[in-house]
Amino acid sequence: MGKCGTIGKVIVIAIPVLVGIAVYLHEQDPAYLAVLYQIPGMKELARSSHRVLSLRYWMGGGGMWKEMLEEQGMGVSDEDGDALLQDIVLTPEELALHDGRDERPIYLALLGRIYDVSAGRKHYGPGGSYAFFTGRDGSRAFVTGDFTDAGLTDEVSGLSVQDYRGLDEWSDFYDREYEYIGKVVGRFYDEKGKKTKYAKQVERWIGEAFSAKEAEDEEKKVMPPCNSEWKQGQRPRVWCSDKSGGISRDWAGVPRRLYNPGGETRCVCVKNFGPPTHRYAGVEHSEDRGDLDHPQLREYEDCDPASVSCLLPAS
């Protein structure tokens, strides 16, 4: 017990010292913490401190933490005690220094979150296939493929629902494959690492994109995509089967063009018997035409409306 007590006292003394250093450096310049973390073993020590500091929430709360410090003749506020729990916050200029041109770790940012991609130096370092992403937040380019300086931006408004889902998938990838470092000051986080209104708006756009995906998946169950065939020298063909679109069912349906908002069209297989799946205001529905009366459907020209296969005009 005596030995454990001595170790405990050392920890109690060491942690406030580390906290004090972190608080001071963070107040002077958040980037100093990044420098501090380059000292061998410092990042591991900080992480251990994180765990110990967090114990106060389930081992008696902040009161017990303060009592332990007071026994050593020291005191620390809750705000200071959480200093090491704060993320490193870099300015865009500081982030730009981590582009792989020297021995610094290689960083990139996605949606304001910084990742250490040094493990992939071959790809992210100078001359690598992904080098244009390093030292900056080029979120938009992850889904647009525009790797010019104008395209490598953290401005992500006006993207398609597929692109917003893509951004979320890229975020999952970097969270899974690389070490998260902190945040970059910009559109997504302020100087204190707090989310901006813009960041919250992007979260809503991503949420709406996944809601749209769920609605699209449900729509595909009702009107699955057609099979298609394109051969040189022949007219393209679309057709329906009981497995077209990868959706197994007990009916094949007939090909129709579905017009979506924005003018996009796609070939869908429409059930052509029985009652409709949905009823639309202002539309007179038949009880034995399935979903053929859907207001956004159009027949293919020069194709028998009852045929399961249609030839398209030669391009």
Q: Which structural domain, as residue segments, surrounds residue 16? A: 10-86
- Please check whether residue 135 lies inside any domain of the structure: yes
In whole angstroms, give the CA distance from residue 130 to residue 152: 12
Q: Which segments of the chain have a pLDDT < 50?
A: 1, 4, 50-66, 68-70, 72-85
Long-range CB pairs of 13-16, under 8 A, 24+ apart, other chains included: 13/72, 13/74, 15/49, 15/52, 15/53, 16/69, 16/74, 16/76
- Please check whether residue 314 lies inside any domain of the structure: no
Give me the number of domains the chain comprises.
3
Same domain? 235 vs 145: no
**Of 86, 121, 143, which residue is a domain's last?**
86
- Please check whether residue 302 lies inside any domain of the structure: yes
**Of 213, 246, 276, which residue is a domain's last?**
213
Same domain? 234 vs 128: no
- Please check whether residue 155 lies inside any domain of the structure: yes
Residue 213: per-residue pLDDT: 74
Same domain? 17 vs 132: no
Same domain? 102 vs 176: yes
- Please check whether residue 76 lies inside any domain of the structure: yes
Same domain? 75 vs 145: no
- Please check whether residue 315 lies inside any domain of the structure: no
Same domain? 233 vs 195: no
This model's pTM is above 0.75: no
- Please check whether residue 5 lies inside any domain of the structure: no
> By the 8 A CB rule, do 143 and 119 touch?
no
Query: Strand runs (DSSP E) across the chain, as ranges?
Result: 88-90, 107-110, 113-116, 179-184, 227-229, 237-239, 254-259, 265-270, 297-298, 309-311
Residue 241 tokens read as 């089967």
- Please check whether residue 2 lies inside any domain of the structure: no
**Of 213, 239, 266, which residue is a domain's last?**
213
Residue 157: per-residue pLDDT: 96
Radius of gyration of the chain (CA): 29
Residue 40 tokens read as 């061998």
Residue 69: per-residue pLDDT: 44
Same domain? 102 vs 53: no
Same domain? 46 vs 151: no
Residue 283: per-residue pLDDT: 67
Same domain? 82 vs 99: no
Same domain? 196 vs 134: yes
